[in-house]
Structure 1
Amino acid sequence: MIERFSPHGTILAMHTDTIPTSDLGWQRQALCAQTGADFFFPEPGSSVREAKRICGMCDMRVACLEYALANDERFGVWGGLSEKERLQIRRTSC
């Protein structure tokens, strides 16, 4: 979060706004937003092959993966990687 204050003046003129630091605009452009969640959050034991194929064609893949890693997303396919693959990245980056 970024704090933003109004110009100097009276104490009453000062205020604090919060601005989210992560821009989620990429989500509207991502291919998964056009295909539905079924591919990306399959039943346990189901294939994630189709989700990975869709991710492989998506221009937002890097932003998606960065978001998933930064927010510790533990379920589904994000940025073309499964839960286990993201867990491996988290373990090796510590």
Structure 2
Amino acid sequence: MDVEDQSWQERALCAETDPEAFFPEKGGSTREAKRICTGCEVRAECLEYALTMDERFGIWGGLSERERRRLRRQAG
């Protein structure tokens, strides 16, 4: 993945919504953010970016931090 090319972010549905939904307080609901991700055309690019950049916070590509950690363990 070319980390420099982030043009996919311009097409992301989350760019049109409240960013706080994607960074809930600890224990807060991730349901709304994940619902938005479900219909997003760049969900795969977003998840790949988060995994490549080791994003520790927020919902990326429809997955929470915990879910991304689990995915990394399974892949590794």
Identify whether the pair has TM-score above 0.5, normalized to the shorter chain. yes
Identity within the alignment, %: 59
Alpha-carbon distance in structure 1 between the residues aligned to 2:71 and 2:28: 22
Unaligned runs of 5+ in 1: 1-20
Report the TM-score when normalising by structure 1: 0.76
Structure 1 residue 62: Cα displacement: 0.4
Greater Rg by CA:
1
TM superposition outliers: structure 1 runs of 4+ over 4 Å: none
Q: Which residue in 1 is equivalent to 2:70?
A: 88
Output the CA distance in 1 between the equivalents of 2:8 and 2:29. 25
Unaligned runs of 5+ in 2: none
Larger RCO (CA under 8 A, 6+ residues apart): 2
Query: May I ask how many residue pairs the two structures share in their alignment?
Result: 74
Q: Given the two structures, how large is their TM-score scaled by the length of structure 2?
A: 0.93
CA distance in 1, matches of 2:43, 2:63: 10
